[in-house]
Amino acid sequence: MLSGKRILLIIGGGIAAYKSLELIRRLRDLGAVVTPVMTPSAEQFVTPLSVAALAGETVHRELFDLTSEAEMGHIQLSRVADLVLVAPATADLMAKMVQGLAGDLASTLLLATDTPVMIVPAMNVRMWQHPATQRNLAQLLADGVQVVGPDEGAMACGEFGPGRFAEVPDVVDAVRSALTGGPLAGRRVLVTSGPTHEPIDPVRYIANRSSGAQGTAIAEALRALGADVVFVTGPAEVARPEGVEVIEVVTATQMRAAVLGALPVDAGVFAAAVADWRVASASDSKIKKQNGQLPVLEFAENPDILAEVSRLPEGRPGLVVGFAAETDDVVAHATAKRVRKGCDWIVANDVSPATGIMGGSENAVVLISENGSEAWPRMGKREVARRLALRIAAALGAG
Ligand code: CTP
């Protein structure tokens, strides 16, 4: 799939440098030629010997290396590649890229290149969240650099949060898309995500529990396969995905309008936990306590966005994928829900508190279609997203 493609891999100095070894293998499995460059600090984490052995290529390490200069100058090195991949990209390398510094081989190559650049940031969570790094990230995106990850989770340094090196298969997908356009290139896919908040008054609301993690991962996985993604999200906890069109909404009514406005699309994935009801007449001012007299809320039913889109007489997406969060008889309920809502597939999961799925990083889903049900093993939400994205690509005839 990547045969004949040349990737210049710049390995930065961080604990995640060891993941670049796996990355080299996977890229070579697909037929890519990987030319490795290591910063001096990368060599503190993995040895040039390991990198060279896996890449089957010489490791470039020095800016002033007369042999290399005679054979292939560093300018040329950065130009013959189809993609410059920085993995892991440290905070230091990102800052150098933003400043246009060229004091060592890695930064010189990055400044000298006119080839597309992709970075896979990995660093301590505080370093990632520092305003300086976030400023640099914004500048790199504005400069057209493609950014994959970072993931969120437990880190080698013992802290928890965003900063982990993205999963290697996700990086490989992103590289594939960058180099080949990806199986979903030219396809437009809609994803709804997160909860909706239905106001009671200006300070109170009712909502469903949803972190938005699964919907966000799906948007990223579709993007990694080259799709143009429209991401309609309620007030979710997790960071918004990069490289997609984000439409922020609060209520179900707003989500419906945003979804209908985003059509036509080739496929729609409805991962949002939409509130089924809204307060019939939300108060414009804060409801005050009244001598022990309790307020009574009246509800009105929200529009079922999934059912409406599934039954559109015109402009129905070629593939409509719903979600079903159930606490018992998961497959039976979800199978009935698929028919009732008129969607093509339902991704069903058991959200009983004991499963730890809601708000957690893993998911165990059953994919239900007209052909029956298929239980997937418990896996990370990103892996669920990746598999689902590949299935969507296959269903659209693009796999
Ligand atoms: N959904 C939607 N609009 C709504 C409610 C739900 O688009 N107003 C979508 C969700 O995004 C999800 C699917 O419908 O893809 C299933 O949602 P769920 O809440 O499980 O279904 P309900 O309609 O609430 O069914 P039930 O009350 O029987 O569980």
Q: 283-311: buried (b, 16+ CB within 10 Å) or exposed (e) per residue?
A: eeeeeeeeeeeeeeeeeeebbbbbbebbe
Residues 91 and 237 both lie in one domain: no
Give the mean pLDDT of 75-82.
84
Give the mean pLDDT of 304-316.
97
Whichever domain contains 311, its CATH number is 3.40.50.10300
The Å distance, Cα 304 to ligand 1 centre, comes to 7
Q: Is the pLDDT of residue 399 over 70?
A: no
Which of 180, 205, 232 represents a domain boundary (last residue)?
Answer: 180
Q: Is residue 52 part of a domain?
A: yes
Residues 72 and 28 both lie in one domain: yes
Residues 118 and 71 both lie in one domain: yes
Residues 110 and 230 both lie in one domain: no
Which are the contacts of 144, defined by CB distance < 8 A and separation ≥ 6? Answer: 116, 117
Residues 192 and 123 both lie in one domain: no
Pocket of ligand 1 (CB under 6 A): 192, 252, 270, 272, 274, 276, 302, 304-306, 322-325, 337
Residues 192 and 175 both lie in one domain: no
Lowest mean pLDDT among 318-322, 342-346, 359-363: 359-363
Give the mean pLDDT of 246-257.
98
Q: Between 338 and 114, where is the model more confident?
A: 338
Residues 301 and 329 both lie in one domain: yes
Q: Is residue 383 part of a domain?
A: yes
Q: Which domain holds residue 284?
A: 188-395
Q: Give me the half-sphere count of Cα atoms (radius 13 Å) on the Cβ side of residue 151.
A: 22
Total tally of structural domains belonging to the chain: 2
Pocket test of ligand 1: the residue of 305, 306, 312, 357 to mutate, having most ligand atoms within 8 Å of its CB, is 306
Per-residue DSSP letters for 320-383? EEEEEEESSSHHHHHHHHHHHHT-SEEEEEE--GGG--TTSSEE-EEEEETTEEEEPPPEEHHH
Phi, psi of 261 (to 5 degrees): -70, -20
Question: So what's the pLDDT on residue 169?
Answer: 94
Supply the DSSP symbol for 143.
T
Question: So what's the pLDDT on residue 256?
Answer: 98
Phi, psi of 329 (to 5 degrees): 45, 50
Q: Between 218 and 237, where is the model more confident?
A: 218
Q: Between 364 and 36, where is the model more confident?
A: 36
The Å distance, Cα 334 to ligand 1 centre, comes to 10
Question: So what's the pLDDT on residue 70?
Answer: 61
Residues 287 and 333 both lie in one domain: yes
Q: Which residue has the CA at smallest separation from atom 4 of ligand 1?
A: 304
Write out pLDDT tens, residues 256-271. 999 999 999 999 999 9
Asked if 174 contacts 164 with a C-beta cutoff of 8 angstroms, the reply is no
Average pLDDT over all residues of the chain: 93
Lowest mean pLDDT among 134-143, 286-295, 352-361: 352-361
Write out pLDDT tens, residues 119-164. 999 999 999 999 999 999 999 998 999 999 999 888 887 888 899 9
Residue list for the binding site for CTP: 276, 286, 303-306, 323, 337, 341
Give the mean pLDDT of 175-181.
91
The CA-based dihedral angle spanning residues 374, 380, 383, 389, taken in that order and rounded to the nearest 10 degrees: 70
Q: Is residue 318 part of a domain?
A: yes
**Is the Cα dihedral 106, 110, 112, 116 positive or negative?**
positive
Residue list for the binding site: 276, 286, 303-306, 323, 337, 341
Q: Is residue 356 part of a domain?
A: yes
Q: Which residue has the CA at smallest separation from atom 27 of ligand 1?
A: 276
Give the mean pLDDT of 9-38.
97
Q: Is the pLDDT of residue 398 over 90?
A: no
Which of 128, 150, 180 represents a domain boundary (last residue)?
Answer: 180
Give the mean pLDDT of 346-361.
81
Q: Which residue has the CA at smallest separation from atom 17 of ligand 1?
A: 324
Question: So what's the pLDDT on residue 375?
Answer: 93
The Å distance, Cα 215 to ligand 1 centre, comes to 14
Q: How far is CA 377 from the centre of its chain?
A: 21
Has 343 been annotated as catalytic? Answer: no
Lowest mean pLDDT among 29-33, 294-298, 303-307, 359-363: 359-363
173 sits in the region (left: phi over 0; alpha: psi -120 to 50; else beta) called alpha
Residues 172 and 290 both lie in one domain: no
Give the mean pLDDT of 38-59.
97
Residue of 1, 75, 138, 157 marked catalytic: 157
The Å distance, Cα 147 to ligand 1 centre, comes to 33
pLDDT category at 72 given cuts 50, 70, 90 is low
Question: So what's the pLDDT on residue 324?
Answer: 95
Which of 134, 164, 180 represents a domain boundary (last residue)?
Answer: 180
Lowest mean pLDDT among 68-72, 248-252, 290-294, 340-344: 68-72
Question: So what's the pLDDT on residue 119?
Answer: 98
Residues 169 and 221 both lie in one domain: no
Residues 170 and 258 both lie in one domain: no
Q: Is the pLDDT of residue 76 over 70?
A: yes
Question: So what's the pLDDT on residue 67?
Answer: 66
pTM: 0.76
Beta sheet of 83-89, edge-to-edge order: 33-38, 6-11, 83-89, 117-121, 146-147
Q: Is residue 343 part of a domain?
A: yes
Residues 204 and 293 both lie in one domain: yes
Q: What span, in angstroms and rounded, lies between the C-alpha atoms of 200 and 233?
A: 20
Q: Which residue has the CA at smallest separation from atom 12 of ligand 1?
A: 323
pLDDT category at 170 given cuts 50, 70, 90 is very high
Which are the contacts of 309, defined by CB distance < 8 A and separation ≥ 6? Answer: 259, 260, 263, 268, 270, 316, 317, 320
Q: Is residue 85 part of a domain?
A: yes
Q: Is residue 1 part of a domain?
A: no
Give the mean pLDDT of 115-122.
96
Q: For the chain, give the percent of residues with pLDDT over 90.
A: 78
The Å distance, Cα 185 to ligand 1 centre, comes to 29
Question: So what's the pLDDT on residue 79?
Answer: 83
Rounded to a whole number of angstroms, the distance between the first and last alpha carbons of the chain is: 12
Q: Which residue has the CA at smallest separation from atom 20 of ligand 1?
A: 324
Supply the DSSP symbol for 396.
T
Q: Is residue 226 part of a domain?
A: yes
Whichever domain contains 101, its CATH number is 3.40.50.1950
Give the mean pLDDT of 196-220.
95
Asked if 323 contacts 271 with a C-beta cutoff of 8 angstroms, the reply is yes
Q: Is the pLDDT of residue 210 over 60?
A: yes
Task: Tell me how far CA of residue 246 lies from CA of 162, 178, 220, 314, in angstroms.
Answer: 20, 21, 12, 25
